[in-house]
Structure 1
Amino acid sequence: MFGRPPPAGEADRLHDFSGPPERQELQLWRGVCGGHDPAAEGDAEKQLVQRSRLLGLLMSELQAAATLLSFSIVETLCSPQVRFLSDLVNCHVIAAPSMVAMFENFISVTQEEDVPQVRLDWFVYVVLSCLPWVGKELYEKKDVEMDRLLSQIEGYLKRRVKTHVPMLQVWTAEKPHPQEEYLDCLWAQIQKLKKDRWQERHILRPYIAFDSVLCEALQHNLPPFTPPGHMPDAQYPMPRVIFRMFDYTDAPEGPVMPGSHSVERFVIEENLHCIIKTHWKERKTCAAQLLSYPGKNKIPLNYHIVEVIFAELFQLPSPPHIDVMYTSLLIELCKLQPGSLPQVLAQATEMLYMRLDTMNTSCIDRFINWFAHHLSNFQFRWSWDDWADCLTLDLDKPKPKFVKEVLEKSMRLSYHQRIVDIVPATFSALIPADPIFTFKYEDESASTLPGYATSVTVSNAIKNRASNEEILAILKEVPNPNQEDDDDEGESFNPLKIDVFLQTLLHLAAKSFSHSFSALGKFHEILKTLTESDEGKLHILKVVYEVWRNHPQMIAVLVDKMIRTQIVDCAAVANWLFSQDMAHEFTRLFIWEILHSTIRKMNKHVQKIQKELEEAKEKLEKQQNKRVTTQVRAALLQKLRRARLCLHSAAALLRGIAATTRTWRRTARTRRVSWRSRSSGCRRRWSRLRANRRTCSSSSSSVSSCC
C-alpha cells in the first residue's frame, strides 16, 4: 500500500495545513491517527487509505531528504520526521517490528568503512534521540531486538575517535560540571532511562486519551528504508559538546532541575532549541514561545532558557545564529519577566566570570560582546565592586582583561566620560584611555622634527582645496631618510613622506568617522601613490596606529576602509598585526577583530575570483560551441551549393530534352509520321523529368531552411 503513489494533487492536499501551529498539529494527528471526521464518518476504508497515503508520503520525503544529505535538510526534516514516525508506534498506527527494522537499518551504517565519522554519528543520534518517545513500547514488544540494537550502539560508541572534543569544549576544567560529547551524554541519559523502566514525565502524549480506540486500529508496516550511501559532497551535522552551567543546587527555590544524565534534561533542551531555531528571526515571538513552554510549572524554566541560550552563543566553532540575536533575545526575555529572569541572568554572568580562567578564548570574546551590549540596554548598571578581586591580579590575566575589554566595548556604545562615571574609582587602571588623536606635529615644540614645515604647508594646502598634483609637488621636497644624498637612483620608499601627509590628513579629519572616510576618499590617488611598495603599505598602517592608539575602534574602521579602497591589501594588514611593533597589543580584542575581518574579506575576494573563473570557463565553452555551430553551418551551405548546381544541370537537361522533342515533332510532320504513336513516349519521359525537378526543388528548400 505504501508503494502506490498518491493521485495527482493528493500530495499538495495533504501538505495544505493552514492555520496556527496548534491547529496544524491537530490536523496532522487527526489525519494519521484516524480522528473523528464528520465528512467521512462511517467510511473507515476511506480514512485508512488517507492514513496510508500520508505515511507513504512521509516515508518518500524521508528517503529523498536522506538522499540529499544536506546539513539544513538533515537538521530540519530528517530527525523530526523519524521522531514523529516513532511516536506513531505509540498510537498503534505503525507496527513496532517495522520501526525496529528501520532502526536496525540506521545502525547498520556504523559498519561502513572509509566514511566520515560524522555520518555514523548522525544515524546513531537519530536512533538514540527517538528512544525517549518510543523506547518503552518497543521494549515491551521487541525486547530481544532492542537489546541487540543497544549493544551495537554501545560497541560503536566505545570505538569512536574523540580527538575533537577538547576543541569544542567551552571550559577546559571538568568541575563543577563536566563538558561531555553529545553522543556520550545522550547514551548516558538513555541508559538511565532504561534503568528507570523507560519512565519519563515531560513528553506530551495526547494520544493517551484515545488509547481505548487506537488499540483496535489496523497497524501499518513501514516500507524498507535503505540509508543512502556516502557521497563526497554530502554535509552532516557537526559534533558538539553539551553545555552545562546549572544543576539542582543553583535553583534552591521552586521545582528541582533535572539531573545532567536525566532524559528529561534532554527533552527540555531539545524543545527549547527547536523553539529558538523556529522563531530566531522574531525575537518577541521567540521570547514569548520560550516563556510559554508546556509544563513550565514542573521545571525551573528560567534556568533552562538561560542555559540553552548561552549554550548556542558559546557553541564552537561558531554559533548557529548571529551573536546579536542572542543579545536581543535575552533583553526581550528580561522585559517579559522583569521579576525573575534578570536575577537568573545575573547569576549566570557571575558564574561565567568566576570560570574565566578555564574558558575558551573565542567564548570569552563572545561573552565580552554580549555583556557590553546587554549593559548598554540597562543603563550600564552592574555591581562592579563584586569583581574587585580582579584588581589584585596581573593585567594580562583573564579576569582583569575581561573587565577592561568590557569597558572598552561599552565605550563604543556610549562615551568615555559615561564609562568613567559608572565605574568605581578603584577600577581606574582598567578604564580605557580617552580616545583622542595624537598628532606629533601639532605643537610648535615639534618644530625641530623632520617634516614639521612640510606638515604645516600640506595642512594649509588641504584647507585651501589644493589639487592632488599640488600636494604631491609639496611632498616631493620631503627628504628620504632611507636614501643617501649622493644616491641618484629612482624614487624609493619614503616613510617620512607618508608620515607627514597621513598624520596631517587624519588630524584635519579627526572629528568623526565620516570626516575620516571622506578624507581617505578625496586623497585616494595620493595615498595609492605613496603606498605602491609593500613597505609603504606596512608603514601607512603603522601611522594609523600611532595617531589613533587610544581609539581602537577608529583603527579598526580605518583599516577596514583602506582594505575596501585598496590602499592596503590583506597581506599587509596581516604582516602589520604580527610585526614586532604590535607585539605588546597581541592580546587586545581589537587586534583579532581586525584580523578576522581581514580574513573574511580575503575569503570573499577568493570566492568572487572563483566565480569569475567559472563564468569565464562557461563563456569559453559557449564560444567553442559557436565555432562548432559555424562549422556545421558551413557544411550545410556547401551542400546547398551542390544542390543548386544539380538543379541547374537538371534544368539544362530539361531544356535540351524539350528542344529534342520539338525537333522530333517537326521531323514527324515532314515525314508524315503519326505523332500520336511517338508523342506518348515523349510525354512519359517529360512527366518523369518534371517529377525529378520537383524532388530536387524540395531538397533545396529543406537545406535552405536548415541553414
Structure 2
Amino acid sequence: MSYGSYGGPRHGGGRGRRGGGGGGGPRHNHPPPERPEVKIKRAIIKFGDSDDPTPVDELSRAAEYLRDKLPADAAAVAQGFKIGICEEPHKIPYYATLLAIVSSGTLQEDSSASGAANLTRPVLEDLFKAFQSSLDALSWRDIRFFTLFFAHLTNLGMINTGSVVALLQSYAAVLDEPGVSQIRATNASRCIGEGLIRAGSSLNSSHSSAVTDLVAAIRTYHDSISDAARALYHPLPSLTLSSTPAQSEKAHELLGSLIVSLDSLAQDNWALPICIPQPETESSVIPQILRLTSEDRMDVPSVLVPPEVEGEEKVGAEETGVEWWIRMYDDELTPSPATPLGYTLRTLFVDMINIYEVNRKEGARILMEIHRWLSPGTFRLEGDREATGIILQNCLIEAVLSQLFHLPRSTLKLMYHAALINELCKLSPQTVGPAVGKSFRKMYSLLSSPDPVDDGAAGLDTRLAHLFVEWFALHMSNFGFAWVWKEWVPDLELPEYHPKRGVMRRVVDYETRLAYYDRILKTLPGPMADPEAGVVPGQAPGPTYAYEDSDHPHYQVAAGLLTMIKDRAKADEVTAHCLKLARSVPIQHMVMQALLHVGSRSFSHFLNAVERYLPLLRGEAGSDVSTGEKNKEKARIILCAAGEYWERNQQMVGVVFDKLMQYQIIEPSDVVDYAFELSAKGGGTPGLSCERWLLVEAALNKANGRVVSAKRKVATLNKQEEDRRARAIANAGGIGMDVDGDAQPGTFRKHVFFTFTNSF
C-alpha cells in the first residue's frame, strides 16, 4: 500500500495518446480522480494488504500518512476505521496499534500537547458515535467488534479501564432482564467474554472484583438454560436430556466453551491467547508508542443496550442462542473450542466466513492468508513434515462446517458453504483436500453410534445427515465424483433402514441429479452398483406413465385425452370432454398424468401445460378459488397421480407439488396429508421417509410464506390508510377531521380481511 501519492499513476510518464504527430492514436478514458475522503478510507481499509512480509512493517508509513490528514479529515479517517473494524475483524489489533502510533506521534512532536490537542481524539469521538449507532440498531456483530477494538485500545493505554468495565457491565445488565431472549443474552455474553479475552489483564489489574462478577454473570445465565433447550439443538441427539461424555467429545457449545476459556485465562493471570497478535510489543513499534496519562485517556461513553422491538419480523437464518460446534479433527490438528486459542480462532473464522458471503473468492483468499494477521507460530509451518501444531486449513474447514451443520438451520445457504470450501481447495489442493476428506469420514462415522446405550446418543441428527448428503454430492460433482467408495462397501451388510445405508442411497440420488445415471454408475464399485444392494435403482430416473400399456382398461380413453392436450385444445373443450366420460374412468388421475406426460420433456413444457389448463386442473383438484371450498379427496388423487408418475425421480415430485401449491391447485395441507399416508403398496414403512419429509417441509414453508406475505400486505394497507388520513387532515387544515368524509365505515377493515384471506 502506497501512502504517498495514493491513487496516482503507478509508473509515471503516461500520455493520453499513443504515437506522435497528427495521426491521433486511441484515447485512454481514465476514470475520474477519487475524492480525497475516498482515498483516505481506501488507505485504511487496504492497510496491510501490500507485499510487506507482515502488517507490522506498514504501521509507520500508515501512521505518517494519517497524521498528514488530521485533523482536517478526521471524519473520513473515522469512517475508514469504522469500515475496517466492522468488516475486517482480523485487522482489529493492528487498527488499534495504528491509532496509538498516530496519537503518540503527536505527543512526540510536542511533549506539552494536552489531550485536547491529540489528533486522534476527534477520530475516537466519531467512532464512539458509530458504536452508539450500532448499539441503537442492535447490530450485535458490529457491537462486539467495537468492543474488541476498545479492549485493544485499553491495553495500549488510550482508553480508561473503568469506562470499559462499565461498558461490559451494561452488557451484563441484559442478562438480568426479565424474559430476555436466548439470542439476545448470548450476544451480550459474547460481548462480555470476548472483551475480557482481549483486555482481561488490563481490567483485572485495577478492577479484579468487577471482572470476576462479569464472568459470574455469564455463568449464571448459562446455567439458567435448561438441559432440554440445549439438547434440542445438539448435533448428536441424546437418548436422555443430560449430556453424555460421548457428546461432549464430539461437539462443543459456544457459551460453554467461552466460560471454560475464561476460567482458563483467569488461572493464567489473563494472558492473551497465543494467536492474538501484539504489534505494540515489536521492537520497531515500541519506540513509536507513548503511554498517555490518565487525564489524556478517553472514556467510552456510558451506554444502555436498547430493548428488542416486540413483534419485529426476523429475517434470515433462525437464531436460537444455543450453538453447537461439531469437532471434525483431533486436538493435534485443530484446537478444542473449549480453550482460549480454539475459541478465539473459531469465532474469528466464523465471523469472517459470514462477512464474506458476498464474495467467496475474496473470502477464501483472505482466510488462506490469515496467518499474516495472527501471532507467528500459531499454525504449523507448511512443507515441514516434522513440524507440530495445529493446521490452518483444518481449522478453516472445521469452522465452515460448524456453520453448515448448525441447527435448526445453517447460518447461510448450503451453496455458499460448499462454494467457499471449493475455493479453498482450488487455492491449496494439497492441504485443503485431505482436510475435506477427513471431514467426510468423520461425518459418515457420526451417522450412527456402535453402542448407543452406553454412549447415550444414537447418531447424527437427521437434518444434519441430509445436509451432509447434499454437501458431499455437490463437492464430488466438482471433482469428478472421485471417492474411495470401497470404504463404504462393508456397510452394505447393515439393515436396509440403517442411517449409513440411507446416506448411500441419497448420495447416489443427488449425484445422479448433478450428472446422469450411467455416469454415476461407472464410478461405483461392483457391490454398490448391484441393484440388489439397494443403493442404485435398477433403472435411470424417468417418468412412469400409467396408461402406456395398450392392455390397460382405460388405454383408449387416456389416449384420446392425451391427444387433445398435445393438440393444445382449449381448456373448456377438454373439460367438456371429461364430463362426458363414464363415472368408472379415473378422470382426475388421468388428467394429471396426461399433463405430466406432455410436460415431461422439460420444466418449461410442464409449466406451459399447467398454465394452459389451469382452470381444468383446479376443477379436477376440487379447488374453487371463488368460494374457497376444497375437495380433499380430489386433491389426494391429483397428488397420488403425480407421485406415481415421477416415482423413479423424487426430485420431480417435489418440483410438481411446489408448482401445484404455487398455482393454488392444491393446498399445503393436502401435501402434508399425502406425505403422512402409508404407502399404497404393500410393505410400506409407517412414518416419514426422507423424501416425504422434504415434501412436508416444502409445504410448511409455503404456508408460512403465505402468512408472512399476507402480514406484509396488511402492514402496507395500514400504512396507506394512515397516509391517506394524514393527507385528508392536512388538506382540511387539521380542524375537525378525524377521518376522510368519503370513507365508508368498515370499508378498510373489509379490504384488509379480503387481502388476508385471499392469500390462502
TM-score bracket for the superposition, by shorter chain length: 0.7 to 0.9
Name the CA distance, whole Å, in 2 between partners of 1:554 and 1:180.
38
Structure 2 counterpart of 1:318, from 388, 404, 409: 409
For 1:160 and 1:23, locate their aligned partners in 2 and report how far apart those are by CA, in whole Å: 34
Q: After the TM superposition, which of the residue ranges 350-359 and 153-162 deviates more from structure 2? A: 153-162
Q: 1:481-496 counterparts in 2 under 5 A?
A: 481=584, 496=586
Letter of the 1:239 partner, please give it. Answer: G
Q: Is the 8 A contact 1:478 1:496 kept in 2?
A: no
Change (3 A) 1:630 1:274: closer
State the match for 1:218 in structure 2: 293
Cα 1:202–1:608, aligned 2, differ >3 Å: closer, same or farther?
Answer: same
Give matches, 1:11-90, under 5 Å: 11-12=75-76, 14-16=78-80, 29-35=97-103, 41-42=109-110, 44-45=113-114, 48-69=117-138, 73-75=139-141, 77-90=142-155
- Residues 531-559 of structure 1: CA distance to partner in whole angstroms, max 9, x if unpaired? 23332222111101112111111211111
* 2: CA distance, partners of 1:285 / 1:509: 42
Distance 1:118 1:27 in 2: 29
1:150-197 Cα deviation digits (max 9, x unpaired): 345444444444431112211136427253332221111111122233
Aligned partner of 2:544 among 438, 441, 453: 438
Q: Deviations over 1:374-414 (max 9, x none)?
A: 11111111111101232111221110001101110111111
Task: Note closer, same or farther for the CA distance 1:471–1:607 as it changes in structure 2 (3 Å cut).
Answer: same
SS at match of 1:439: coil
The one of 230, 237, 240 equivalent to 2:307 is: 230
Deviation at 1:336, TM superposition (A): 1.4
CA–CA distance in 2 between the matches of 1:159 and 1:172?
21
SS of the equivalent of 1:566 reads: coil
Q: After the TM superposition, which of the residue ranges 521-530 and 540-549 deviates more from structure 2?
A: 521-530
Cα–Cα, structure 1 residues 615 and 100, in superposed 2: closer, same or farther, change >3 Å?
A: closer
1:504 aligned to 580, 594, 600, which one? 594
Q: Does 1:175 align with 2:280?
A: no
Give the greater-gyration-radius structure (CA): 1
Aligned equivalent of 1:132, options 186, 191, 197? 197
1:611 aligns with 2:712: yes
The change in CA–CA distance for 1:101 and 1:437 in structure 2 (over 3 A counts) is closer
Q: What is aligned with 1:689?
A: none
Q: Structure 1: which 5+ runs fail to align?
A: 1-5, 252-256, 482-494, 637-707
1:327 is the counterpart of 2:327:
no
Name the SS for the 2:246 alignment partner. coil
Distance 1:302 1:244 in 2: 16
Residue type of the alignment partner of 1:347 = K
Q: Is the 8 A contact 1:31 1:50 kept in 2?
A: no
Q: Which residue of 2 aligns with 1:700?
A: none
Structure 1 residue identity aligned to 2:545? F
- 1:293 is matched with 370
User: 8 Å contact 1:128–1:190 — kept in the other structure?
Assistant: yes
| Residue of structure 1 in register with 2:258 after alignment | 186
Structure 2 counterparts to residues 456-495 of structure 1, below 5 A: 456-481=559-584
| Cα distance in 2, alignment partners of residues 204 and 349 from structure 1 | 33
Of 326, 330, 340, the match for 2:431: 340
Number of the residue aligned with 2:757: none
- What number of residue pairs does the alignment pair up? 606
Structure 1's 133 and 148: CA in aligned 2 closer, same or farther, altered over 3 A?
Answer: same
The corresponding residue for 1:598 is 699
Structure 1 residue 393 corresponds to structure 2 residue 494: yes
Q: Which has the higher helix share?
A: 1
Question: What are the within-5 Å matches in structure 2 for residues 283-682 of structure 1?
Answer: 283-294=360-371, 295-296=378-379, 297=381, 299-357=390-448, 358-427=459-528, 428=530, 429-432=534-537, 433-446=539-552, 449=553, 451-481=554-584, 496-532=586-622, 533-581=631-679, 584=685, 587-621=688-722
For 2:210 and 2:82, the matched residues in 1 are separated by 40
Q: 1:205 aligns with which of 278, 281, 293?
A: 278
What SS class does the counterpart of residue 364 from structure 2 fall into?
helix
Letter matched to residue 230 of structure 1: P
SS at match of 1:34: helix
Tell me how far 1:521 sits from its aligned partner. Answer: 2.3
Q: Is the 8 A contact 1:168 1:317 kept in 2?
A: yes
In 1, Cα distance between equivalents of 2:734 and 2:257: 69
Distance 1:110 1:616, change over 3 A: closer
* 1:237 Cα offset (Å): 6.4
Contact 2:661 2:667 in 1 (8 A): yes
The one-character-per-residue Cα deviations of 1:27-46 (angstroms, maximum 9, x if unpaired) are 76433453566999448448
Q: CA contact under 8 A between 2:233 and 2:408: conserved in structure 1?
A: yes
Match of 1:705 in 2: none
Deviations 1:560-591 (A, max 9, x none): 22222222222222222222347648544332
Q: Deviations over 1:190-239 (max 9, x none)?
A: 11122233333110111223446645323424255242353443889642
Q: Deviations over 1:651-684 (max 9, x none)?
A: xxxxxxxxxxxxxxxxxxxxxxxxxxxxxxxxxx
Q: What's the offset of the Cα at 1:322? A: 0.9
In the TM superposition, residue 465 of structure 1 has moved relative to its aligned partner by 4.1
Label 1:223 to 1:284 Cα distance change in 2 as closer, same or farther (>3 A): closer
Q: 1:17 to 1:263 in 2, by over 3 A?
A: closer
- Give the 3-state SS of the residue equivalent to 1:243 in structure 2: strand
Q: Is the 8 A contact 1:168 1:316 kept in 2?
A: yes
The separation in 2 between residues aligned to 1:617 and 1:249, in whole angstroms, is 57
Distance (whole Å) between structure 2 residues aligned to residue 195 and residue 634 of structure 1:
71
Letter of the 1:74 counterpart: W
Contact 1:246 1:307 in 2 (8 A): yes
1:243 aligns with 2:325: yes
Residue 321 and residue 54 in structure 1: after superposition, are their counterparts in 2 closer, same or farther (change >3 A)? same
For the 8 Å contact 1:454–1:475, the answer to whether it is kept is no
Q: Residues 232 and 24 (structure 1 numbering): CA distance in 2 closer, same or farther, change over 3 Å?
A: closer
Task: Give per-residue Cα distances to partners, 1:342-374, cap 9 Å, x unaligned.
Answer: 112111111110110211111111111101111
Match of 1:677 in 2: none
2:170 touches 2:305 (CA, 8 Å); kept in 1?
Answer: no
Cα distance between partner residues in 2 of 1:635 and 1:308: 63
Q: Specify every segment of 5 or more residues in structure 2 that has no aligned partner in the other structure, as ranges.
A: 1-69, 239-244, 372-377, 382-388, 449-458, 623-630, 738-760
Distance 1:35 1:414 in 2: 60
What TM-score do the two structures reach when normalised by structure 2?
0.73
Aligned-partner Cα distance in 1 for 2:565–2:329 = 65
Deviation for aligned residue 1:263: 0.4
Does the 8 A contact of 1:33 with 1:91 survive in 2? no
Distance in structure 2 (CA, Å) of the matches to 1:403 and 1:172: 21
RMSD, aligned CA: 3.3
